[in-house]
Structure 1
Amino acid sequence: MRNDSRGVPYLSLRLVDRTGSVDARMWKLPKELLDGLDGPEYVRVEGVTHEYRGMLQVKIERLTVLSREEVDEGDYVPVTERDLAALASEMESLGEELEDVYLKRLLDAMVADEDFWAAFCSAPAAKSMHHARIGGLLEHSVQCVRVARVLAGIYPVDRDLLLFGAAFHDVGKVEELSWNGGGFSYSDRGRLQGHVVLGERILRRYMEKVPGFPDELEMELSHILLSHQGEPEYGAPEQPRTLEALLVHHIDNMDARVEMFLAATENVSSGGWSSHDNPLGRALYVPPGRKG
């Protein structure tokens, strides 16, 4: 609920289904909506789309809150538009370019676990901040590997360690998040421990399945996962202290923020501005001749 410049209350919403999202506003509110909505709801709306300050927006004329029995919840879960099978194949083929035999065996052990691999390939990368869609974790991970390949040709790094860290820095999301029931939420384990700790534990379980996995490699790989958030205030038990860990942190951060920008400007016309109400916390500009 917000008030306009005249002090008149209106409802500000974001309408979401599996195809995407759009901002919406509703004036002339019935009594039952004067206090807004308690939280996310399934709704049926009637209204008119128009462009407001360069952004697509829906002016809602009628809104009805629906019960869960009236909807197919699968219609409301965002899904990546990318080819999930192709992304999974690209991730699996990473093993073919790894020269380190232990990292190669580690990847093989993870892919061979069908339940884990199915979860990794379908999980969202976040509840709402970035790549919040079915397959979002896989999409984000593949993109990070692609960036890591470029950086490995520029900086004096252990290429295999950098690529593997970029691929699985967010592996804890498979236990931190739940993506059933028509939306994304945090599991109890996710709320209590977070994906950074969960991810390091997951990777450690698979490292224990690889005979003779070197202690030094285990330590450096664990450090990448534990430090990839960068700073303690963002959930990192440690700051990056190796070059590979530093690069994985910045690769992750860059891809996440690019995705935030693209999602926030999805409905912005050329030469227009987004709303400031987005994960980046600022109005974003799409220059003339470009698409949001």
Structure 2
Amino acid sequence: MHAKTTFVRDLTPGQKADAVFLLAEARQGQAKNGPFWALTLADRSGEVPAKIFSPQAQAHQDLAAGRFVHVRGLVGTYRDQAQVVVDELAVLDPDAEAALTLADFVRASERAPEDMLADIEALCREHLHHKPLRTLCRTVLTDPGVKARIMAAPGAVSIHHAYAGGLLEHTLAVCRACMTFCDLYPDLDRQVLLAAAVFHDLGKAWEYAPGPVREHSDEGRLLGHIFIGMQVLEPFLRKAKDLEPEIATHLRHVILAHHGELEWGSPKRPKTREAFALHFADNLDAKLKTVAEAVDEALPDGETGWSPFVRPLSRFVYRPARTPDPSQDRKDNPKAQQCSLLSKE
């Protein structure tokens, strides 16, 4: 396999680009001086827009997202963002694609999907004491067709957790948040809330098309992940003969209402405490991840400052200075921890 040495994050205005990228988007347009291509080049470090102007654009008739391309050109700026003006572009043949390391081109969760799924299953074993609910969760999560889909699925196309494994990462975070809510509010039905958290975004494994490019499937565009998720879950619910109908109905409601408002794509608005809890846990994780990704992409580690405008949040976001925490410093520094212990003797 061929190792990739130049990534999107390395491209700076004035630099020449000469590297292989994944073609995330390809759209043909027409300008006064002839046709052009508007492209999005991608790898694991991010995405960058690119343009092929005439006459070079006329040499390419069938560029399509999902292909790997070797690009040569100059990095410039457009609307204060880097943009590659392409001089030469070659679509790789299947043999050249096979020699690439896919992990160089597809962003992925920092944790292995197997580990995150194991953590979700452990939460189910710890908190689901009602056998029908515990069996339902185990049956769905171990189903070969479901498991194959959820292991690499992203959590979104472009906003939060938009990378391979993002769905499991988001699901695990929402499950943990819901269990914390139950510690704070003991009257919540911990078991139905956890089961709903496990399945709330199940449909995203079908909403997005498989493959290296993050895009909606036809089914995803037409139906959306909430409907698809319930469609996937219903056969398992029908087979769960011991699960009380009223609990099954409540579980369905909590999942269906997790977007909170009709205008946000929720078929129903929350009408139980558990439905509100899942909605806020889901929204909290999505928002915090969106903020973190915006500032992490814009700023070096440890630096304070503002992000560019974040369209999903309709605002700029800020990374403030962190409050010093000596106790945390000792945890991170074994020598400091040892000195602290000696001072107590």
Contact 2:109 2:164 in 1 (8 A): yes
> TM-score, with normalisation over the residues of structure 2?
0.68
Question: Which among 42, 47, 55 is matched to residue 16 of structure 1?
Answer: 42
The one-letter code of the counterpart of 1:91 is I
Quote the RMSD (CA, aligned, Å). 3.4
Alignment deviations for residues 16-72 of structure 1 (CA, whole Å, 9 cap, x no partner): 31x22166799xx954599xxx9968663566799xx9xxx6575756444253655
Q: Which residue of 2 aligns with 1:114?
A: 144
SS of 1:140 mapped into structure 2: helix
Matched letter for residue 88 of structure 1:
L
Determine the C-alpha separation between the residues in 2 that align with 1:22 and 1:247.
35
Rg larger in 1 or in 2? 2
The answer to whether structure 1 residue 165 and structure 2 residue 196 are counterparts is yes
Residue deviations 1:235-274 (CA, integer Å, cap 9, x gap): 1111000110111011111111111112222232223222
Q: Distance in 2 between matches of 1:145 and 1:23?
A: 34
- The equivalent residue for 1:274 is 307
Residue of structure 2 in register with 1:4 after alignment: none
1:78 counterpart (100, 107, 129) = 107
Bigger RCO of structures 1 and 2 (CA < 8 A, at least 6 apart): 1
Describe how 1:1-292 pairs up with structure 2 within 5 A. Answer: 15-17=41-43, 19-21=44-46, 31=54, 44=71, 58=82, 60=84, 64-67=88-91, 69=93, 71=97, 74=102, 75-97=104-126, 98-155=128-185, 156-180=187-211, 182-269=212-299, 270-288=303-321
Q: 1:49 to 1:81 in 2, by over 3 A?
A: farther
Q: Is the contact made by 2:41 and 2:50 (CA closer than 8 Å) also made in structure 1?
A: no
> SS in structure 2 opposite 1:78?
coil
Deviation, structure 1 residue 141: 0.2
- In the alignment, is the contact (CA less than 8 A) between 2:42 and 2:105 conserved in 1? yes
Unaligned residue ranges in structure 2 (runs of 5+): 1-36, 58-62, 324-345
Report if aligned partners of 2:48, 2:83 keep a CA contact under 8 Å in 1. Answer: no
The answer to whether the Cα contact below 8 Å between 2:50 and 2:85 also exists between their aligned partners in 1 is no
Shift of 1:95: 2.7
Specify the SS of the correspondent of 1:16: strand
- In structure 2, the CA distance between the partners of 1:226 and 1:262, relative to structure 1 (3 Å rule), is same
Unaligned 5+ runs, structure 1: 1-10
SS in 1 for 2:296: coil
Offset at residue 124 of structure 1 (A): 1.0
Change (3 A) 1:278 1:186: same
Letter of the 2:133 counterpart: L
Classify 1:216/1:281 alpha carbon distance in 2 versus 1 (closer, same or farther; 3 Å): same
CA distance change for structure 1 residues 111 and 185 in 2, over 3 Å: closer, same or farther?
A: same
